[in-house]
Amino acid sequence: MAEAAFSAGHLGELTRIVSPELVDEVLAETKSVQQRVRLLPSRTVVYFLLAMTLFPESGYLGVWSSLVAGLAGASGDPSATALRHARRRVGSAPLKLLFQHLRGSVSSATTLGVYWRSLHLAALDATTLALADTPANSAHFGRVQGKNGAGGYPLARVSAIVECGTRALIDSAIAPLACGEATHAVGLLRSLRPGMLLLADRAYDTYGLLRATADTGAHALFRARGQRVLPVLHALPDGSWISFIPQPSHAHRLKAWLRRGGAPAQMHGLGVRVIEATITTTDREGASRRSTLRLITTLLDHTRYPAAEVTALYHERWEAETAFFGLKVTLRGADRVLRSGTPHGVDQEIYAYLITYQAARIAMCQAADHADLDPDRLSFTVAVRAIRESVIIANCSPPPLRTVPEEPSRLAFTLLKPRNLHTSKRRQRTSDRAVKRPLSPYAYKSLSANRRKRHTTTTVTITRASDSVLTNAAAA
Nearest CA-CA partner of 159 in 110, 186, 125, 130 = 125
Least confident of 34-38, 193-197, 347-351, 460-464: 34-38
Q: Is the pLDDT higher at 42 or at 262?
A: 42
Contact, 273 vs 197, CB < 8 A? no
Give me the mean pLDDT over the 255-278 stretch: 80
297 CB contacts (<8 Å, ≥6 apart)? 219, 220, 221, 222, 272, 273, 275, 305, 310
pLDDT value of position 260? 73
Assigned fold of 115-323+466-475? Transposase Inhibitor Protein From Tn5; Chain A, domain 1 (3.90.350)
Contact, 238 vs 276, CB < 8 A? no
Q: Confidence band (pLDDT; 50, 70, 90) for 301?
A: very high
- Neighbour tally for 19: CB within 10 Å: 18
432 CB contacts (<8 Å, ≥6 apart)? 449, 450, 451
**Residue pLDDT, tens place only, 373-395:** 999 999 999 999 999 999 998 75
Q: Is the pLDDT higher at 149 or at 306?
A: 306
Q: How far apart are CA 283 and CA 129, in angstroms?
A: 33
**Residue pLDDT, tens place only, 391-430:** 998 755 445 544 444 556 889 999 999 999 988 776 665 6
Secondary structure of residue 159 in the 3-state scheme: strand
Q: How far apart are CA 397 and CA 266, in angstroms?
A: 65
pLDDT value of position 437? 61
DSSP bridge pairs for 270: 245
pLDDT value of position 4? 44
Mean pLDDT of the chain: 86
Q: Is the pLDDT higher at 462 or at 367?
A: 367
Amino acid at residue number 106: V
Q: Confidence band (pLDDT; 50, 70, 90) for 340?
A: very high
Q: Confidence band (pLDDT; 50, 70, 90) for 265?
A: low
Amino acid at residue number 236: L
Contact, 120 vs 196, CB < 8 A? yes
**Residue pLDDT, tens place only, 76-109:** 789 999 999 999 999 999 999 999 999 999 998 8
Nearest CA-CA partner of 5 in 78, 69, 80 = 78
- Neighbour tally for 311: CB within 10 Å: 21
Nearest CA-CA partner of 469 in 238, 243, 225, 224 = 243
Nearest CA-CA partner of 46 in 106, 74, 5, 3 = 5
Give me the mean pLDDT over the 159-166 stretch: 96
Q: How far apart are CA 340 and CA 132, in angstroms?
A: 6
Q: How far apart are CA 306 and CA 300, in angstroms?
A: 10
pLDDT value of position 252? 76
Please name the helix (run of DSSP H) or strand (run of DSSP E) that holds residue 429, with its range, or none. strand 429-430
Amino acid at residue number 130: A
Contact, 154 vs 138, CB < 8 A? yes
pLDDT value of position 281? 79
pLDDT of residue 256 exceeding 80: no
pLDDT value of position 468? 40
Strand spans (E) along 85-180? 115-116, 119-130, 145-146, 149-150, 155-163, 169-176
Q: Confidence band (pLDDT; 50, 70, 90) for 342?
A: very high
pLDDT of residue 217 exceeding 60: yes
On the 0-12 / 13-18 / 19+ scale of CB atoms within 10 A, 109 is: exposed
Contact, 144 vs 150, CB < 8 A? yes
Give me the mean pLDDT over the 300-317 stretch: 94
Q: Is the pLDDT higher at 405 or at 122?
A: 122
pTM of the model: 0.89
Give me the mean pLDDT over the 436-449 stretch: 58
Domain ranges of the chain: 4-101+379-415, 115-323+466-475
pLDDT value of position 454? 62
